């Protein structure tokens, strides 16, 4: 958990997850104003403002505890000069460094945890939002300036509905603190909070972790039972009494089938496979290779790498004698390759064609290995490291000249 350890230092990820995660908020002071500036900065914000569309509601403004109308986006500079808070959602899809952070956290927390990063730019003395709680876990990363935060206890444990349907607590905040550049504030789901910018402009990122919850299992089970005939039948007719014998029999039959299904030995594996299939994988496009061009130039000295934070699940179908490889929503099948190849392929982050030849010692390069590598490149399972391949070629050429 390298990235989580960096984010939460001086706490370790394990200590934090044991003592604070889902339990109570925590201000983590870094005493290092540069801690997050390689991830985001005023320069990064200005790049977004200058070269990205300002589409509502991903790009919006808030003032006096209210989100402004879409029309205000056309005068966003004037509105900011008047004290409006600027909010930009999904910054992790627009800034590579932020994407790297979000993908790493998502990977380290495991399947069923999706991350999203939003940016907030506030002006001295302003409060963009009223006291509220979020239905996901929140990490505040203070990038520039400082901001005063107030965090209150939850009024409902692990809420599923937004705070617009509830009233904030009347107690005092259990955290009242000021975040300075480099600091982190963790706020659990359901804990009420609000913030006020201090005597200088404030820029912070909110890394939200949207977790799969216990109740979400029913969505998965519903899909499983669609294929079972009993669960598609109509409710019995003539049910006019609370103790109807026909309704009782109907429910008993469904309950028994549900119990039998939940007792299946492969239930955990099936559910984990489902969670992995729902996970959005990091972007890993590499044109023109993935369209099929230039793949004939792949040689044993070509270097490859797997996309960072790519979660891979695979199993072997004995009947079909093939491997099923799942990477998020993507699924591919490979037949005729040894187990050692699959294990090595997903154990190493970087490798060369020479390594592949060792893993497939009995395979011919031109007729078997090259088509396999081309297929894996086009499926975005592996990428070609052009820079390292070029350096290796240059070194080889230099050695030949010396000889």
pLDDT digits (tens, 9 = 90+) for 155-183: 999 999 999 888 999 999 999 999 999 99
* φ, ψ dihedrals at 358, nearest 5°: -70, -40
At residue 394, the pLDDT reads: 58
159 in any annotated domain? yes
Q: Say if residues 307 and 299 touch (Cβ distance below 8 Å).
A: no
CATH value at residue 159: 2.60.120.650
Question: How crowded is residue 395: how many other Cβ atoms within 10 Å of its Cβ?
Answer: 11
pLDDT at 400 over 80: no
Residue 118 placed within a domain: yes
Among 208-217, 302-311, 386-395, the minimum mean pLDDT is found in 386-395
Q: H or E element: which one contains 178?
A: strand 175-180
- β-bridge pairing 350-352 and 303-305: antiparallel
In a domain, 131, yes or no: yes
Three-class SS state of 29: coil
Edge-to-edge strand order for the sheet containing 146-154?
Answer: 175-180, 146-154, 191-197
Residues 232-263 pLDDT 10s:
988 888 777 766 888 888 889 999 999 999 99
On whether residue 284 sits in a domain, the answer given is no
Domain that holds residue 235: 215-263
Say if residue 130 is in the same domain as residue 192: yes
Share of the chain above pLDDT 70, in %: 96
The residue from 211, 233, 248 where one domain ends is 211
pTM: 0.90
Q: Which pLDDT score, from 0 to 100, does residue 278 have?
A: 85
How far is Cα 189 from Cα 362, in angstroms, rounded to an integer?
Answer: 54
Mean pLDDT across the chain: 92
Residues 6+ apart with CB under 8 A from 174: 24, 25, 151, 152, 153
User: Which candidate, 294, 315, 320, places its Cα nearest to that of 378?
Assistant: 294
Same domain, 118 and 182: yes
Task: From 246, 263, 280, give the residue that closes a domain.
Answer: 263
Alpha helix (H) ranges present in 279-385?
Answer: 339-345, 353-359, 370-378
Q: Indicate whether 43 and 192 sit together in one domain.
A: yes
pLDDT in tens, 1-56: 899 999 999 999 999 999 999 999 999 999 889 999 999 999 999 999 999 999 99
């Amino acid at each position: 958990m390298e990235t989580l350890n960096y984010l939460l230092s001086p706490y370790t990820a394990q200590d934090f997850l044991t003592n604070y995660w889902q339990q109570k908020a925590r201000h983590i002071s870094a005493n290092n104003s540069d801690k997050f500036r390689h991830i985001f900065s005023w320069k990064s914000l200005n790049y977004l403002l200058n070269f990205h569309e300002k589409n509502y509601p991903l790009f919006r403004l808030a003032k006096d505890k209210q989100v402004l109308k879409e029309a205000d986006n056309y005068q966003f500079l004037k509105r900011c000069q008047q004290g409006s808070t600027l909010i930009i959602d999904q910054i992790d899809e627009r800034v590579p460094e932020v994407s790297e952070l979000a993908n790493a956290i998502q990977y380290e927390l495991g399947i069923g945890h999706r991350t999203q990063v939003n940016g907030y730019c506030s002006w001295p003395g302003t409060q963009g939002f009223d006291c509220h709680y979020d239905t996901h876990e929140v990490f505040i990363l203070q990038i520039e300036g400082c901001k005063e935060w107030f965090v209150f206890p939850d009024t409902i444990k692990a809420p599923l509905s937004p705070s617009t349907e509830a009233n904030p607590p009347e107690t005092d905040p259990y955290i009242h603190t000021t975040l300075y550049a480099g600091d982190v504030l963790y706020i659990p789901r359901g804990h009420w909070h609000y913030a006020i910018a201090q005597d200088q402009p404030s820029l912070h990122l909110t890394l939200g972790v949207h977790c799969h919850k216990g109740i979400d299992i029913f969505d998965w089970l519903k899909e499983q039972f669609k294929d079972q005939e009993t669960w598609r039948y109509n409710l019995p007719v003539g049910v006019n009494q609370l103790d109807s014998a026909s309704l009782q029999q109907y429910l008993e039959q469904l309950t028994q089938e549900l119990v039998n299904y939940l007792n299946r030995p492969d239930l955990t594996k099936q559910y984990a496979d489902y969670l992995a299939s729902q996970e959005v994988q990091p972007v890993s496009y590499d044109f023109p290779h993935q369209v099929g061009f230039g793949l004939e130039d792949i040689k044993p000295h070509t270097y490859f790498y797997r996309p960072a934070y790519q979660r891979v699940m695979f199993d072997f179908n004995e009947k079909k004698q093939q491997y099923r490889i799942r990477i998020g929503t993507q699924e591919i099948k490979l037949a005729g390759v040894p187990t050692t190849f699959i294990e090595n392929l997903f154990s190493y982050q970087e490798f060369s064609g020479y390594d592949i030849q060792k893993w497939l010692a009995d395979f011919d390069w031109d007729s078997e290995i090259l088509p396999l590598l081309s297929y894996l490149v086009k499926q975005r399972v592996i990428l070609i490291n052009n820079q390292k391949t070029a350096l290796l070629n240059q070194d080889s050429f230099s050695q030949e000249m010396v000889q």
